Amino acid sequence: MVAFEGDRPVAVLIGCKRPPETLVRTLAVHPGHLRRGHGRHLLTSLSAKLAILGPPNLVAEVPAGNAPARALFAACGWRETQTYRDLEFDPSLAAPAPSGTVHEVRPDSLPAVAGPLSWERTQATLAGRRERLKALVLAPADRIEAAVAYTREADGAIGVWRMEGAGLGTLLRDLAHRERTRIVALGVGYDECPWELATTIGWRATGETIGVTSVAKAQ
């Protein structure tokens, strides 16, 4: 969606519809046209359209330090519901797991992810990455103790898109040993990996975003 002043485009909203939600991926206003209601107009217009067309649930992820953006969403009736962190793994912790305990598996053989997740970590997004996605499990004695799913990104880094299990630290150290490159996990919520655990097993936070939600309503 684009907002105009006369014939000049001055603001843009880029969204992504994927039932049952619509993500506001980008909301930007030209610096010379701030505080004139363009951002609010785009959000309320989108809400009115989705009240008719659906899906009715709206989500966005806003950088924690962007106070004006957070204030705009709040003024439009959106609620802050989640905190997500971008993480980077300490490469000095790289170490192989005990022989025979880590196995490569098909990503679609892992149980579906659930719970409050950032958009890039949901099951539908993972399905969209299926051609590039790889998965490892830590499974001593035929029992899965941890799992990770990851991709190699364009900059050469490893992006971890799901992680779980009591043996997660061992599995991540093994992944770091195998890949010998930066390992990052973007948009991780507390329910997926509590901050205390993340620090203990070798992650450090590099950024933070706030998940905000709303329900579409007619103007």
pLDDT tens digit sequence for 185-203: 999 999 999 999 999 999 9
> Rounded distance, CA 126 to CA 112, Å?
10
Are 114 and 75 members of one domain? no
Tell me whether residue 44 is exposed, middle or buried, using C-beta atoms within 10 angstroms of its C-beta: 0 to 12, 13 to 18, 19 or more: middle
Q: Could you read off the pLDDT of 138-160 as tens digits, one per residue?
A: 999 888 999 999 999 999 999 99
Residues 156-175: tens digit of each pLDDT:
999 999 999 999 999 999 99
Domain count within the chain:
2
Angle ∠(191,193,195) on CA atoms, nearest 5:
100
pLDDT score of 112: 87
Element (H, E) at 198: helix 195-201
Statement to judge: residues 143 and 190 lie in one domain: yes
Q: Give the C-alpha separation, 207 to 187, whole Å.
A: 9
Would the pLDDT of 114 be above 80? no
- Asked whether residue 28 falls in the same domain as residue 126, the answer is no
Q: Are residues 109 and 197 in the same domain?
A: yes
In sequence order, the 6+-apart residues with CB closer than 8 A to the CB of 114 are 123
Enter the pTM of the model: 0.93
Nearest one of 113, 121, 85, 114 to 199, comparing CA atoms: 85
Q: Are residues 73 and 174 in the same domain?
A: no
**pLDDT surpassing 90 at residue 184:** yes
For the four alpha carbons of 68, 73, 74 and 75, in that order, the dihedral sign comes to: positive
Owning domain of residue 38: 2-83+209-215
- CA distance from start to end of the chain: 17
